[in-house]
Structure 1
Amino acid sequence: MDPVIIVGAGPVGLALALALARQEVPCVLLDEGPGKDEPRPARTVVLREDTAALMERLTGVPLARAGARPAGWRSMRRKQVVHEIAYDDARPAPLHIAQHVLTGALRAALTGERLVRIALNSRLDSLEQEPSGVTAHTRGPEGTWWRGSYLVGCDGPRSTVRKLQDIRFPGRTAVERYAVAALRTELPWHDEVLLHRMPPWRASGPSAGEITARPLPEGVWRLDWLLPPGKELVTPELLLARVRETLAGWNHGAAPPYELLDTGVHTVHHRLARRWRADRVFLAGDAAHLLGALGTHGLDEGLRDVDNLAWKLALAWHHGPHEALLDSYQTERRAVVAARLRAADQALPLLRGGGGLRSYVPGAARGHDALLMDGHLGQGALGAPGTYADSPLAPGRLEGEVPVGTPPGTAVTDVRVTAEDGTFVRLRDRLGRGALLVVLIAPGTGVWERRHWVSAGIMPRLAAAVSALPHPAELLVAEDYPGAAAHTVLLVRPDGHLVTALGGVRPADLYAAAEAVVGGATKTETDAESEAEARAGAGAATG
């Protein structure tokens, strides 16, 4: 079987190569650059807690040490604090990290990876599809043809893969623009993100109506100033004036000493590819979607694309075509991103329009502040992680299905579980291996050695049901789970989304749910079963 070809060696392409390698799928990673990333302190990313955990699983590096998890978040309007939130176990802090640091960690994890071949200075210029695979040609010092089973375009907003497949990429250009600076300084608050709307001082040139400050390690802050609409050139003088006036405004007129590390202008576009799959070619990350207005984070969504696609490609690579399963990538992920873009497009006129009804309606400004907060905090239509409740992989109604604290299609809560070898691990640590997870909720098992309960009660029957599933599955045991009664059985996808919760051991329901989530029986499996039945019938006739 030919390897999977991944075009583009940004964070999404690197993460996909690692995710596939972890599931024993060989890859060729086409990197049009020299394999090094220029340090840019002002180019940072914000990863939600579960996405950061995915990156740590893939890299094996505790990325929190290289980034920052803020202690809290606050929003201000003029001089008044509108909202203030402290992060804790119930509301985990996101990870703020420089993109070159994240990319470096992913590259380091790929060093010596036997299943991934990285082709540097290799720019894709053509590709051809056949029923059995994909052929791609690259130009460069060692321009050549590459043969693959599938090809994934992770090659950014100007994706060559998308253009070669003639996939439209409609949307809006320059939805928002920000001037950005990374500087080392001391601010009046510590270790908190600040969203400051309508600051009470006047900036040089057009007034800055919104400023965001995010902490980074070693006393570094990233500051973002929302720019007025238009294409006005952001000169170094204008940016320095914004830095000085902002620091002075936050420090009662006296700007503290600062060291300017990096600057830039960040332009937000909103676009969504019409198709994310063209036979054996897929799109992921910025090649498939662009978003980022109102506090939403595009790279976080791109890494969620990786989590969704990797296990499906791995299953198809190992076991033959699973068309319904592969189609579900576009259905699930495109719907989530489209909903996020719709929410942002609906909110933008309210939040950026100025004047209008909000000048006369009491409390309108506060309501708009709360709406903007959703994108930054990862909640509501603007920011909440997507769910796959309407997925084509969702099983039909099951007789034994019961409700738990996690609705079907939603990412499961990370709880402590007992693995098959008796060790205690986090549920999230077992994700991304290609196997389904079956979790039995059994209060009290945590205080007994595994040998005392593994052969008692319902465990033998459940173990037999798990071994008979149509796809490899790992059996885990948890003492509790939000909203779940004792003896509830959870079926979890390899990317951590709940398939169903069953009340007790129900082999038929468990099998039906597992078969649905891997796209039903494959053609190869169906043919094999038919041939086996035919051979059995022939044997009976001749006997």
Structure 2
Amino acid sequence: MRDRSVAVIGNGPVGQTTALLLARWGIPVVLLDGRPARDPVGSKAICQQRDVLDVWESVGAGRRIADEGVTWSTARTFHRDTELFALTLQDAGTSVFPPFVNISQSRVEEILDEKIAEQPLIDVRWGHRVTRIEQDADAVRLVTDTGASVVADYAVACTGAHCEDLRRSLGVRFEGHSFDDRFLICDIRADLPGWARERRFWFDPVWNPGRQVLIHPCPDSTFRIDWQVPGDYDLAEEERSGALHERVRAIVGEADYEILWKSVYRFHSRVADRLRVGRVLLAGDCAHLMSPFGARGLNSGVADAENAAWKLAYVLRGWADESLLDTYHAERHAAAVENLDVTTATMNFLVPHNAEQRALRESVLVGAATDPALRARVDSGRFSEPFWYVDSPLTTPDVTRPFAGRPPRGQVPPPGPGILVPDVPVSAPGATRLRELLRDGFCVLAARDAELPDVSSVPWPVRVVSLPKLDPDGVVSDTLGMRRGELWLVRPDAYTAAVVTETTSLLEAMRRAVGGAPTPASV
């Protein structure tokens, strides 16, 4: 007897998102966590990216999270007391969400908890730490430290960074390395005029010589401060001696302040060698760890959740073969490798390994004050961005829209196969923006002069939308760069799967986009 169709292990934001998205697809979920209850302590992951807010809005939470968070769009970078540049984040469309908001992970979890409480398909069980996973061809069985067991069709492990036993039991290697330097994190409350709408990053300030400091504004006059500190840093000793007070005072001056939370971390760059092990998928920090510069941890974990949820739903509903789940590893492992590449490059710039690297970094920082060409080499973190599934087995390439590679910081690639569809206003019943139409199944966007395709033979949800009705002003067409006669096939996670011009090619691209789906007769 199955408890639920999917068991989600870990009730953090990635697990919560996975459960909510599965329930949105009508899939029953049991959500397990070893803790006795929610522990809302510390800011933890604070930067929630625009496209993640959009995912959360699909389960009714994104607008609220955005409204409660601090909206910012400018990142300032300094060397000592000289500002090198300010980066304003861009959007290829016209999103209703800002590029980022800052809000504590704890508050995000509370909001997602409220949405889970409204969802009868989600059964939350605190105090259930999974100690063993067993699986066969038909089901997965999770054994908890209470002696209870949970049986489900599939499981998604969202257990966070400290799940060595679980990864080991699945035979998963977690390869990579850890950085020697540590980082002190403090949440403070203070009145700092002019600081509430910008992220600020200092290389080698006089008040943290030889290392870096990062400051983020958060709601309710709070700020998150990250100091790079030596590997032997002793927080308890710094508190005892008063040095922590002096460290904070060097930033806030004479302003009154209150420390709300503090912690010390060592950052890691690691990725699991397999994100699918039979009936178990790995997501979030369980699957990959990276430094926080660029805010790619939680944001990429939510992308894992969305990718896993729609694919599990399609398999469980009989719309796709189980082999579709292999593409979860193909797509999200590639995304993790990309994120590790970006964040490791940042860490190598922040923490040079030898005297030669330190000298090179110093020359770049000094030169960037007067030479704009050197500013692109100053790496304080490339902000989180959606991964581009251009090489996915689910994507049909378009030789007329070749992918030019990773764009410059703050920019996005032009729309096309494998690229997340930009969000733009539309005129449709019950929807005011494009992405609101794109998460209920596959969608075909037909150009103004395109013949509407017959998709009645397709045994899974497909919506065909004629752009003259949806887009009377041509905003969608112009933003996508749509050409005469084109049909744009968009996946349930709002990624473009194909751009074609005839129904036969469209049906072929649809089958590819669900991993080679069963024929109608077999469903």
In the superposition, the TM-score normalised over structure 1's length comes to 0.82
Residue 528 of structure 1: aligned partner: 522
- Pick from 113, 119, 124: which aligns with 1:118? 124
How far has the Cα of 1:271 moved from its partner? 1.1
Residue 449 of structure 1: aligned partner: none
1:240 aligns with 2:245: yes
1:184 aligns with 2:176: no
Structure 2 unaligned segments of length 5 or more: list them.
Answer: 404-412
1:492 aligns with 2:490: yes
Asked whether the equivalents of residues 19 and 432 of structure 1 are also in contact (C-alpha less than 8 Å), the reply is no
Q: Deviations over 1:88-114 (max 9, x none)?
A: 766942121101101111111010311
The answer to which of 478-487 and 261-270 deviates more is: 478-487
How far has the Cα of 1:425 moved from its partner? 2.4
Q: Within 2, Cα distance between the matches of 1:133 and 1:154?
A: 19
Q: Deviations over 1:447-497 (max 9, x none)?
A: xxxxxxxxxx75xx51x5233334311223333332223553211111111
Q: Within 2, Cα distance between the matches of 1:186 and 1:168?
A: 46
Residue 132 of structure 1: aligned partner: 138
- Pick from 107, 118, 122: which aligns with 2:113? 107
2:512 counterpart SS class: helix
Change over 3 Å in CA distance of 1:423–1:53 after alignment to 2: closer
Q: Within 2, Cα distance between the matches of 1:513 and 1:440?
A: 15
Residue 313 of structure 2: aligned partner: 314
Asked whether the equivalents of residues 185 and 257 of structure 1 are also in contact (C-alpha less than 8 Å), the reply is yes
Asked whether the equivalents of residues 208 and 226 of structure 1 are also in contact (C-alpha less than 8 Å), the reply is no
How far has the Cα of 1:216 moved from its partner? 1.0
Q: Within 2, Cα distance between the matches of 1:212 and 1:371?
A: 18
Asked whether the equivalents of residues 412 and 496 of structure 1 are also in contact (C-alpha less than 8 Å), the reply is yes
Q: Within 2, Cα distance between the matches of 1:401 and 1:174?
A: 39
Structure 1 unaligned segments of length 5 or more: list them.
Answer: 249-254, 379-383, 443-456, 530-543
Q: Deviations over 1:247-299 (max 9, x none)?
A: 23xxxxxx222222222223211111111111111110111100125434211
Q: Within 1, Cα distance between the matches of 2:420 and 2:119?
A: 29
Residue identity matched to 1:13: G
1:158 aligns with 2:162: yes
Change over 3 Å in CA distance of 1:312–1:175 after alignment to 2: farther
Change over 3 Å in CA distance of 1:149–1:86 after alignment to 2: same
Q: Within 2, Cα distance between the matches of 1:340 and 1:402?
A: 22
Paired positions, count: 485
Q: Deviations over 1:93-149 (max 9, x none)?
A: 212110110111111101031111111211112221111111111123xx3121100
1:281 aligns with 2:286: no
**Aligned ranges for residues 323-362 of structure 1 at < 5 Å?**
323-353=322-352, 355-356=355-356, 359=359
Q: Within 1, Cα distance between the matches of 2:51 and 2:122?
A: 25
Residue 464 of structure 2: aligned partner: 475
Change over 3 Å in CA distance of 1:498–1:146 after alignment to 2: same
Residue identity matched to 1:157: A
Residue identity matched to 1:327: D
Residue 56 of structure 1: aligned partner: 57
Residue identity matched to 1:162: R
Higher RCO (C-alpha under 8 Å, 6+ residues apart): 2
Change over 3 Å in CA distance of 1:169–1:71 after alignment to 2: closer
Residue 451 of structure 1: aligned partner: none
How far has the Cα of 1:392 moved from its partner? 1.2
Q: Within 2, Cα distance between the matches of 1:414 and 1:277?
A: 31
Q: Within 2, Cα distance between the matches of 1:337 and 1:99?
A: 21
Computed over aligned residues only, the root mean square deviation of the Cα atoms, in angstroms, reads: 2.8
1:97 aligns with 2:103: yes
In the superposition, the TM-score normalised over structure 2's length comes to 0.85
Asked whether the equivalents of residues 102 and 219 of structure 2 are also in contact (C-alpha less than 8 Å), the reply is no
Residue 225 of structure 1: aligned partner: 227
User: Rg bigger for which structure?
Assistant: 1
The answer to which of 164-173 and 471-480 deviates more is: 471-480
1:76 counterpart SS class: strand
1:75 counterpart SS class: strand
Q: Within 2, Cα distance between the matches of 1:346 and 1:38?
A: 32
Change over 3 Å in CA distance of 1:362–1:47 after alignment to 2: closer
Q: Deviations over 1:392-437 (max 9, x none)?
A: 1123669x99999313111111122344xx454212223433x101
Asked whether the equivalents of residues 405 and 484 of structure 1 are also in contact (C-alpha less than 8 Å), the reply is no
Asked whether the equivalents of residues 350 and 368 of structure 1 are also in contact (C-alpha less than 8 Å), the reply is no
Residue identity matched to 1:17: A
Q: Deviations over 1:48-107 (max 9, x none)?
A: 210122123224352122211114221111121111134576694212110110111111
Change over 3 Å in CA distance of 1:23–1:424 after alignment to 2: closer
Asked whether the equivalents of residues 320 and 516 of structure 2 are also in contact (C-alpha less than 8 Å), the reply is no
Aligned sequence identity (%): 29
Residue 408 of structure 2: aligned partner: none
